[in-house]
Amino acid sequence: MDYLMLVNKTNGLGKYYIPNNLVKVKIKTGGGKKIYLEKKTYKQIKKLLKDINKEFMTEIVIDSGYRPYLYQENLLKDLLQEKQEEAYNSLAKPGYSEHQTGLAVDIGFYKDGHYVPKFKNEDFAKEFLWLKDNAYKYGFIVRYPSDKTAITGYIYEPWHLRYVGNIAELLTKENLTLEEYYEKYLQD
């Protein structure tokens, strides 16, 4: 498994890419959804959620993980009906979603018995700050930060975490997106 796999609006995976080590999420999920993640990603997000929930007495859960090509296609169709062109700012073209790697995790939270699918900065400022500072210890980065929208091509998504493994520490300390990391370190 290539944990540094770069998927964005210009680097797609195509119709047929399916990660070969997906596992079913067995802990509580947002709305009881059936979710699959890459094996190591799942192991690490479980640890992260356990720690953040203990720290803040919250119930933050996995909202979304692996999204197959067909699912992405339907999601976009729905959103296009609702929002038209604007949909492309918040959703990838089918085959270009990082969720197809199995390495991306969206999180949401239960509050007073209600489920809120998007983990927003305003609602949970302390928790988000913790994530920004600590996610790397589990191998994750906040993939679409507010100050990097021009580089990532995505609006600020504090709820979208991406597993990258050990390199997460470097990315966090140098404040680099995955795109910037490729440019700085992986180009000839």
Residues designated as active site: 157
Site for Zn ion in 27-66 (CB under 5 A): none
Q: At its nearest, how many Å lie between Zn ion and the CB of residue 183? A: 23
Binding-site size for Zn ion (CB under 5 A) equals 2
Site membership for Zn ion, residue 106 (CB under 5 A): yes
Cβ-Cβ contacts under 8 Å for 148 (sequence gap 6 or more): 177, 180
Binding mask 135-164 for Zn ion (x = CB under 5 A): -------------------------x----
Of the candidate spans 21-29, 105-113, 118-126, 169-177, the one that interacts with Zn ion by CB under 5 A turns out to be 105-113
Q: At its nearest, how many Å lie between Zn ion and the CB of residue 41? A: 13
Of 104 and 171, the one with the shorter C-beta distance to Zn ion is: 104
Residue nearest to Zn ion (CB): 160
Of 57 and 105, the one with the shorter C-beta distance to Zn ion is: 105
Of the candidate spans 39-47, 66-74, 106-114, 124-132, the one that interacts with Zn ion by CB under 5 A turns out to be 106-114
Of 148 and 160, the one with the shorter C-beta distance to Zn ion is: 160
Q: At its nearest, how many Å lie between Zn ion and the CB of residue 90? A: 10
- Per-residue H/E/C for the chain: CCCCCCCCCCCCCCCCCCCCCEEECCCCEHHHCCCEEEHHHHHHHHHHHHHHHHHHCCEEEEEECCCCHHHHHHHHHHHHHHHHHHHHHHCCCCCCCHHHHCCEEEEEEEECCEEECCCCCCCCHHHHHHHHHHHHHHCEEEEECHHHHHHHCCCCEEEEEEECHHHHHHHHHCCCCHHHHHHHHCCC
Q: At its nearest, how many Å lie between Zn ion and the CB of residue 67? A: 8
Q: Could you give the CA distance from residue 50 to residue 40 in angstroms, rounded to a whole number? A: 16
Residues within the interface to Zn ion (CB under 5 A): 106, 160
